[in-house]
Amino acid sequence: MEPTRLLALLVGVFVVALVLWDIFQTVVVPRPTPGVYRMSRWIVRGTWRLVRIVAGRKVASAQDPLLGMYGPAVTIIMLLSWLGGLILGYGLVLFGLGNEIKPPIDNVGTAMYFAAESLLTIGYGEITAGGVASRVVVTVAAISGLGVVAIVITFLFSLYASYQRRERDVITLQATAGAPPSAVKLLSMYGRLGLVDRLPDFFITWQRWAAEVLDSHVAYPILGYFRSSHDNLSWISALGTVLDAATLVSTTIRGVPRGEAELCRRVGVHLVEDISSLGFGEGASVPLTRDEFDRAYRRLRSAGYELEPADRAWHLFERARAPYADRLERMANYWATPAPAWLGTPAPLTSAVHHDADGDAEAKSDSPVEAEAH
């Protein structure tokens, strides 16, 4: 065999092995596999940086639609890249075995064409494999082509099923926590509507949500790039809101069962730690100040909650929030998603307003409808 053909054959075998290994790690293995030599890793990280740069040059109203298309688009790009890589690899192998092909293949372009025919099982018949080795390569190419398409289609269905389950609870959170969601507004709404006794059920629901998102997003990190279809909402801001609410219940609010809130917080912290450890985080976080906490403290008190002494509550809250707050905000920075709004939207000017000594405005409502407007 000529040295050029031998080199092409060896390179082709390496490319095919690299692509199939990447498909196996990305789609088949249900756990994170952050290997350095991964096609999908290069594609996703590189194209995401490019899209972020392009989105940063657009007006705010055009950024979210562009970023929202990235997740589905990069999934298709990965499929095309895998097929393209296999065509390249098998084409180089068939070029190396060109003397066994009828008619003999004397250029890489023809070899690529024959590889694409074999991989996609088109089989026009103008080129055929004559030797044992070439027949084995053509057969393996046909099998791997069908297998890759079937696996990726199944992968797409699994991604969208996980995405829909994730978004269902994120969207329903908007009714009580607003958009972007706020833990203070969430708890205030439950207090004003007389639903405090349902907070344990709320935390149980979100504990299950966090466990499911932990399982799906660690197994398939590409899900993190799929954005919510609703403005000012994201699974990251929803998670931060629920974690802040659970932390407030565990450290600041009296008279509400704390067991469910604490379990929800622990599962949520586990989720944040595992996702951020995969490298999804950038920038610096802005810590919550004592003044912001005090404003939230007054909001909760006006909603009817019995609270721990402010100094003790702040100390406990700050310590309990530390394991997730910084990582969660850095994740929001990486994916350019809305961060949780700590205090929520300000009260409308048409509401009756009560001013605290330091000038903070608190809306006073006599009905659940007015409370919801707040």
Q: Are 93 and 139 in the same domain?
A: yes
Segment among 39-48, 182-191, 271-280 with least mean pLDDT = 39-48
Domain boundary among 154, 186, 214: 154
**Residue 209 · residue 318 · CB < 8 Å:** no
Give burial (CB, 10 Å; 0-12/13-18/19+) of 256. buried
Q: Are 259 and 324 in the same domain?
A: yes
Q: According to the model, what pLDDT value does residue 242 have?
A: 95
Whether 160 is covered by a domain: the verdict is no
Whether 363 is covered by a domain: the verdict is yes
Confidence of residue 243 (pLDDT cuts 50, 70, 90): very high
Domain carrying residue 86: 3-154
Q: Are 265 and 303 in the same domain?
A: yes
Domain count, the chain: 2
Chain segment 252-266, per-residue pLDDT in tens: 999 889 999 999 999
Confidence of residue 1 (pLDDT cuts 50, 70, 90): low
Chain segment 224-242, per-residue pLDDT in tens: 999 887 777 889 999 999 9
Which run of H or E residues covers position 152? helix 132-177
Most confident of 92-96, 225-229, 267-271, 280-284: 267-271
Q: Are 185 and 297 in the same domain?
A: yes
Whether 164 is covered by a domain: the verdict is no
Q: Are 123 and 205 in the same domain?
A: no
Calculate mean pLDDT across residues 33-42: 73
Whether 74 is covered by a domain: the verdict is yes
Q: Are 82 and 195 in the same domain?
A: no
Q: Are 195 and 130 in the same domain?
A: no
Whether 159 is covered by a domain: the verdict is no
Q: Are 288 and 331 in the same domain?
A: yes
Q: According to the model, what pLDDT value does residue 261 have?
A: 95
Calculate mean pLDDT across residues 345-364: 36
Whether 220 is covered by a domain: the verdict is yes
Whether 365 is covered by a domain: the verdict is yes
Q: Are 101 and 185 in the same domain?
A: no
pLDDT at 352 > cutoff 60: no
Chain segment 320-336, per-residue pLDDT in tens: 999 999 999 999 999 98
Q: How far is CA 224 from CA 43, 88, 277, in A?
A: 15, 30, 13
Q: Are 148 and 196 in the same domain?
A: no
Chain segment 162-194, per-residue pLDDT in tens: 999 999 999 999 888 888 899 999 999 999 888
Q: Are 206 and 66 in the same domain?
A: no
Mean of the per-residue pLDDT values for the chain? Answer: 84
CA distance 332 to 29: 26
Confidence of residue 15 (pLDDT cuts 50, 70, 90): very high
